Structure 1
Amino acid sequence: MKNVPTLDIRRYDTDRDAFVAELGAAYREFGFCCISGHGIDKALVDGAYDAFQRFFALPTETKMKYHVPGSGGARGYTPFKVETAKDSAHPDLKEFWHVGREIPRDSKFADVMPPNLWPTEVPDFRQFGYGLFEALDALGTRVLRALALHIGLPENYFEDKTDLGNSILRPIHYPPITQDDIPNVRAGAHEDINFITLLVGASAEGLEVLTREGEWLPITTEGDAIVVNIGDMLQRLTNHVYPSTTHRVVNPKNDNARKPRYSVPFFLHPNPDVVLDPVPECITPDNPSRYDSSITSHEYLLQRLREIKLI
């Protein structure tokens, strides 16, 4: 059985050509790879998970103070059974919070990137939440350098396209499943919207990726490895050379279904004004351009948020 590989990103500095080739091959095959050797402090990850769990344990009426109706959940709290995977009949069994990039309020993107909210009931939420945002943002930049080199782009191709990216850190709480006949999985089959997603330290099994052969492949990580997958925007920009692979979170078949599940994905987005046209390096006679109209990343994001019922 095939497995999504785990690659040590330190090899980018010691064995670059081989690392870039292996990473590129993993993404072309699966749209997913696990990254180890990233140097993100375990104390930061553990501290963030602890702060997030304390927030989700608060009474519903307290959490709802941080819900901003009509905002598409851009910042703050989104309650249970709101988000629905595209074309799914059932909403996802989760509640979540969004931390976004801190930008000057006179930035040209201030109208589409609102200021963060921080729950006063959990004083260290901001320190750990934004600390983890910045650590994963930096790691994502390193992964994108290798992805750029693999398709013949300059190493720093993505840097000025993501330095003000509308990226999101999303702490998620999936509650314990208490009924056996529940119709929906914890998170329905979907593809991510953004450039790449980095998932740090999921607390229970359940993540599965759909292979090219149409089989669901469980993703399990070892040690400190972080799961990194391609999103639809990067799929579009690379003319599907890097596929955005369907994945889901299923209910465990064991006692873990009766336990809460916490997970913290980081969705790395391009800057809102980046045009998502396929790059010439990914257009060939065998792979002609699949898109005949242009769209900015912000327009694309709004289109997708409507599809998943967040706006």
Structure 2
Amino acid sequence: MINAVAVNKPGLRLEPFTYKLGSLKPDEIDIDVEYCGICRSDLHMLTNDWGITRYPFVPGHEIVGKVAAIGSTVTHLSIGQRVGVGWRSKSCQTCFQCLSGHHNRCPNGEDVIVGRHGGFANKVRCQGLWAFPLPDNLDLQSSGPLFCGGITVFSPLIQNKINSCDRVAVVGIGGLGHMALLFLKAWGCEVSAFSTNPNKSIEAKTMGANYFYDLNNIDEVKSLTNKFNLIIVTSNVELDWDLFIGTLAPEGKLHIVGAVDQINAKVFPFISQERSMGGSPTGSPSDILKMLEFCQRHGIKPIIEEFSLSSANEALDHLTKGLARYRIVLKNDL
């Protein structure tokens, strides 16, 4: 029997919940959860903002724990090994996307908290492919957020072939944005941070920003015309898109990872300077392994606040009020 916390419909508080996992499939593993991060996606799913939540609903998809059981075809993991799991829990391995190495884009895949129960529990199950061994020198307590928020902002650096001479901007210095700054500093880029909160200036520079810009100062943003090779947008609010597009260098890319509803922008600035715009969903297994090695090599770890899993409602309130600095992690005490 699995002990968890769940909600039964939108608007309710998390309450104790138990369920059975059923038989372990050959390609699956079970994990004893030690820590689980809270992502803003958990909030969207709790309230069914995206219309895909199935209740009762157990949130949590930034999981770190020990392998407790292994299916017969899983050969790369061992009982007791520490692993991490993020947004995805399964991919089919046979579609074109999987065969191309883009398992995160598998149309036949499964996500940890979509149509099944997540990591706000003492145990979670996933396909063995999506459980990633945790390097020995990575901090166990803070590693969970790497497996969703971390790979979400690391993957654009690989996709866009960013090098150490590039100028990269991060819009929104929160749970995602602060990890982007940590990565970019180690990558060697010239890093700019954008936020509507000028009080984050000192912290942003400590995390890796060479420059900090207040989004409320439109004239200052306008002065950055043709500057950035890449802009990573982690914010989920409406922005002055034309303003930011104008700060892209020729062939620059506006890369969106925040769950913004829609984008209204003029086309000509893209055409005239050969700029582009896109986004990405987390990252492939190979990119996640690269990220973990990168974090190990450079001593990168997310900045977190810890709550107990039994205090998950208080932790969610803390996040909803915008008080998290910068990622919340729940320690399993169920």
Whether TM exceeds 0.5 here: the answer is no
TM-score range, shorter chain: under 0.3
Scaled by the length of structure 1, what TM-score is found?
0.27
Question: Larger strand proportion, structure 1 or 2?
Answer: 2
Q: Which has the higher contact order (CA 8 A, sep 6+)?
A: 1
**Greater CA radius of gyration, 1 or 2?**
2
